[in-house]
Amino acid sequence: MSQASNKVFANGWMAAVYLFLYLPIITLVVFSFNDSKLVTVWSHASTRWYSALMQDSDLLSAVFLSLKIAFLSALMSVFFGTFTAFALNRYTRFRGRTLLSSMSTTPLVMPDVIVGLSLLLMLVSLQHWLGYPQRGLFTILLGHALLGTAYAAVVVTSRLKEMDGKLDEAAMDLGAKPLQVFTLVTFPLLIPALVSAFLLTFTLSFDDVVLSSFLSGPGYNTMPMVIFSRARLGLNPTINAVATVTITVVTIAVIASSFYTSHIERKRKREMAFAYSDANN
């Protein structure tokens, strides 16, 4: 094969994969503006499913519950995920390190149904002994925070690996206490990673249907649970409308956050270059 035909093949392959990944999403969006009740047959453009969505109180309260859970569980995930990343990266030797590292990767790969069932059985036993917690918002929150912690730990770890320990050492040499090193040096450098960990765990929680179904109690239906029960019954144009709204919001958030992190990155590089040039003069 010649160089040029190689290039064509490579580009064609990549284009085909992107088409495969985006075709379903594009169809969802296009057909959300379809007037027909038949989801897959185009009649003419309208926004009737969006107005139907605004009146769908079941779905709207589910969206509200999901947003609340996603926000709180993302906060918890970033908190515990940062601890996990620090424990595993700053202390290379301690008893139970292998245990901690394998426990922290378990929620990433273990099938959702197992994580959901085992968590539920633990919480039911706990309730048996202590009379607490009741199944509902709190139990869903715990499940999502567990999953999120595992992902947040990965994101924070990769940032910690990029950062060199020299700045921490320098701060310590200048007399900063460990907590001061963290709040004044490490934490500010970590902020972009914490922001992306927050966004990632927020969307994971907002998306989860299996853990929520196991851990939820009566009256606590998250948005994916409502969508899932409707999608099981068949096609439903309001789902397309919800999808379009979600996709729009997520896309804007992802693009905005990637601009934000690259802006911070550039700013820091500028400041570092400046500091070095100062030091050399």
Partner 1 sequence: MTKLARFSQSLTSGKLIVIGVPMAWFLLLVAIPLLIIMKISLSEMEATSVSKMISWTNGLPTLKLNFSNYQFIFSDALYVKTYISSIKYALITTLICLGIGYPFAYFMARAPKHIQPTLLMLIMLPFWTSFLLRIYAWKTLLVSNGVINNLLMSLHVINAPLDMMNNSFSLTIGMVYSYLPFMILPLYANLSKLDLRYLEAAADLGTSPFKAFWLITVPLSKAGIIAGSMLVFIPAVGEYVIPELLGGPSTLMIGRVLWDEFFSNNDWPMAAAVAVVMIALILVPMAILNRAEAKLEEA
Interaction of residue 24 with partner 1, rule CB under 8 A: yes
Q: Site for partner 1 (CB under 8 A): which residue of 258, 266, 272, 275? A: 258
Q: How far is Cα 99 from Cα 80, in angstroms, rounded to an integer? A: 16
Interaction of residue 91 with partner 1, rule CB under 8 A: yes
Binding part of the chain for partner 1, among 52-60, 113-121, 165-173, 272-280 by CB under 8 A, reads 113-121
Q: How far is Cα 145 from Cα 142, in angstroms, rounded to an integer? A: 5
Structure tokens at 64: 């509200």
3-state secondary structure of 174: coil
Q: Site for partner 1 (CB under 8 A): which residue of 63, 65, 70, 146? A: 146
Binding part of the chain for partner 1, among 57-65, 101-109, 168-176, 186-194 by CB under 8 A, reads 101-109
Q: How far is Cα 214 from Cα 201, in angstroms, rounded to an integer? A: 19
Instruction: Please give the size of the binding site for partner 1, defined by CB under 8 A.
Output: 78
User: 193 to 252, contacts with partner 1 by CB under 8 A?
Assistant: 200, 203, 206-207, 209-210, 213-214, 224, 227-228, 231-232, 235, 239-240, 242-243, 246-247, 250-251
Q: How far is Cα 56 from Cα 227, in angstroms, rounded to an integer? A: 12
Min. distance of Cβ 119 from partner 1 in angstroms?
Answer: 5
Q: Site for partner 1 (CB under 8 A): which residue of 43, 47, 51, 105? A: 105
Interaction of residue 64 with partner 1, rule CB under 8 A: no
How many other CB atoms sit within 10 Å of the CB of residue 137?
Answer: 19
Q: Indicate if the alpha-carbon torsion angle 26, 205, 157, 249 is positive or negative.
A: positive
- Whether 66 and 249 have beta carbons less than 8 Å apart is answered as no
